Each structure stands twice: as C-alpha cells, then as structure tokens.
Amino acid sequence: MCGTPPWSSAAPTAAGTRGSVTTNRPASSPKPSRNFRGFPRCPATAFSRHSSTWTRRVPGTARGRSAGNPRPGRGRRSGSPRAPRSPSSGSTGAGHGPNSPSSAGSASASPAPLGGAVRNATVSRDGAHWYVSFLVEDGTLTPQRHDNPGSAVGIDRGVAKVVARSDGIFHHQVFAREREVGHAATLQRRLARTQKGSARRRHAAAKLGKALAKVRRRRADFAAKIAHTLTVGFELIVFEALATKNMTAGVAPKPDPGQQGAFLPNGAASKSGLNRSILDKGWHRIELATRSKARYTGTCVITVNPAYTSQTCNVCTVVDRKSRESQAVFRCTSCGHTEHADVNAAKNILTTGRAEHARPRPGVRAGARKPRNRVGRKANRQATAAQGHATASPELAGIPRP
C-alpha cells in the first residue's frame, strides 16, 4: 500500500455531504485527479489493478501514446489489411510495450525458438491477415532407410475420389459445401456489380476472399494429412505425371463454316465444369506436400507416364477402352477381371513405378525427375531437315551408304 492520502486524514477540517456520497477533504487541498473509472491516480493498488484493463481496451496506451477520443472517419474499415510493424520499432502488442506497466522492471521477452538457424523470412498477406514464414536450418538429415523397407503404393488422383491407393484405400473430402458454393457465387455477383476503385468493391472483395480462404485452408490441411500418412507408411510412392495446367485449359471456339461470325457447340460448358472440379481437388498441392514430407522419412517419390493407366487391365495387361464401363467400374473384356476403376489404375501406376525405380540411370538418383528437353522447336526442325536431306542425297561413286 502507499499510505493514507492527504485528503482522507483522520481529523478533517471540512466535511460535506453530496447526495449519498460523503467526502472528507481539507479545504486547502486540491481536488484529486481521477481516471476514467473514478479511481484516484495516487494509490498504487488502483493503478496496478486497472492499468492492465486500460492498456487492453485503449490501444494507444500500450504504444506509449496518449489515448483520446477516436477521430471521426479515421478508424480502420472492416476488411482493410493492417500492415505489419517491424519488431525493431519496439511495439510488441497491447500490454507488452516498452511503456506498459507489466514490462516495467523486467527484461524484454525473447522471441520463441524456431528450432534452428533462420535463413530467411517471407512476409505474406492473406486477406486482412499478415503472416511471416521462416526458413530454418534444423540440421535434420534425410534417413538412409525407411522404417518400412520395401513398402510401395501407387496413387491415382481423380475427381469423384481425390486419392485412390493401390491397396484399395480411398481418401476423400468435400472442401466446399453446397451452401458455401452458393454464398461464394452471390459474393462474386455482388463484386461484379461494383465499380473499380470504390469502397464497396474493397468490402465485397474482402468478404469474397474470406469465404474462399476457408476452402483453401481445408484443401491445404487435407494435403498435409495425406502426405503424412503416405510418407510414414511407404518407402516408394508413385504418382502420375499430370499436367494440370494443360488439363484445365479452355476449349477453342469452333466457327461455323456456313455462317460468318457464328460458332458451333464445342462443349465449353461441360469442360469448364470439369476444370473447376479438377482445380478444386488440389492435385498438385498433394504431390508437393508429399515431396516435402518425404525428406524427413526417407521416402522416394517418383512420377510415371499416365498414358493408358485407366484402360489397362492389371491382371492380363490388355489395353481396351471398352473395359472402362463407367467412372467406378472396370471389367476387362479379355479376362473378365472386375475391380474399381481407380484402384485398377493405381495398381498400373505402381507396376510402372516399380519397373522404373528398379533401373536407375547412371549418375542419377533413383526416382529423380527426368531433365527437361530445352532444345527449341526451330533446332528440332533443322535437325529433322538435315537428316532428311542426308538420306535423300545421291550416293557417292564407289561408296555405298550403309
């Protein structure tokens, strides 16, 4: 305690009654200053009890500034991003600043350990939130041998089922419910009706981004869980080398030769629906997450050519497009083998991956990606033309060509 204040002495010289509140204060003493809750500023107990409440409710006091009434029209609008402050500015949040009562007389809190040496930091913004990602050198080495040596699995990515494994297990999740899809469509129409650069457009874009961020986080969470399950359980994981960008390309228009300026139906509506379904499943994100997790378990992740994997029978290896009766039914026209179409494709992917993994190229790690052919089209045409010219040239006298 701080003792008895001068205006509450035991022998007051003047006493007055105002309503139901009685005050005993010397006539010569000034009127004590009081804070916003009516407590005197002098007693340490009142200060320690209510200073933390003040710093929490009034942001200005936690940053060492006087807290007054907010200016009209200067408040942060909902949905507008707040720029991150540098840690060197000394502002560490409400109740933990350099002028905060809780930090007086104590050392500043050190940052939380990240598990290793920080190599770089990336600042990103997602809607109204800012994030900092640290690249940390944790010193962890890739294991030379997996916990389950010899285990392998083939992965078939689809639309009806996101992930189908060669052992008959499916992994699927609906990332956006029908109600959320309808709400996102309403927000998109609302955004399209706004004028560029207006405040209503910023608010509509913020609401739409918030709705889409939920779906994006669910997709990322699903990919991380699938990657953990696959890398922990299998030493070899085989994916299809899918070109998602090419698979989701738009359909070229089909002009009508009989009428100038008219176009024939080209199936663009159905193709756009398939493109949305493919992009919604996050095929590429699953492969990236699996490759990232594989560094900590010693798993080898490879990709194979996806050609004819859904039309080939895994038992008799006969290729026939009629064997794929529907999306989920595969019945071989040669041997009569019946199985789920996605599981049959995953088994073909695993068979091809094991064959490729068993014959590593000299000087190249098993399972590494093939180098890209960077020879231009012009060089290929020139080489083809030179080869054709050499073949068509007349034979020299006495020297027959082989």
| 137 assigned to active site | no
Task: For residues 158 and 66, give the distance between their C-alpha atoms in angstroms, rounded to a whole number.
Answer: 59
| 240 assigned to active site | yes
Answer for the pair 270, 276: CB distance below 8 angstroms, yes or no. Answer: no
Active-site option among 156, 235, 287, 356 = 156
Residue partners of 241: CB distance under 8 A and separation at least 6:
303, 304, 305, 306
Active-site option among 147, 221, 325, 342 = 342
Instruction: Residue 223: name the closest of 293, 130, 131 by CA.
Output: 293
**Residue 42: HSE in the Cβ half-sphere, 13 Å Cα cutoff:** 10
Active-site option among 235, 240, 287, 356 = 240
Question: How many whole angstroms from its chain centre is CA 229?
Answer: 19
Cα distances (Å, whole numbers) of residue 363 to 237, 300, 359, 366, 368: 22, 17, 12, 9, 11
Instruction: Residue 344: name the closest of 331, 353, 333, 356 by CA.
Output: 331
Task: For residues 106 and 55, give the distance between their C-alpha atoms in angstroms, rounded to a whole number.
Answer: 18
Structure tokens at 329: 């039914």
Task: For residues 112 and 136, give the distance between their C-alpha atoms in angstroms, rounded to a whole number.
Answer: 13
Cα distances (Å, whole numbers) of residue 326 to 199, 339, 340: 50, 11, 10
| 156 assigned to active site | yes
| Number of neighbours of residue 99 by Cβ within 10 angstroms | 13
End-to-end CA distance of the chain: 110
Look at strands 329-331 and 338-340 and give their pairing: antiparallel
Residue partners of 231: CB distance under 8 A and separation at least 6:
237, 290, 293, 294, 296, 297, 299
Answer for the pair 283, 247: CB distance below 8 angstroms, yes or no. Answer: no
Q: Which residues are catalytic?
A: 156, 240, 342
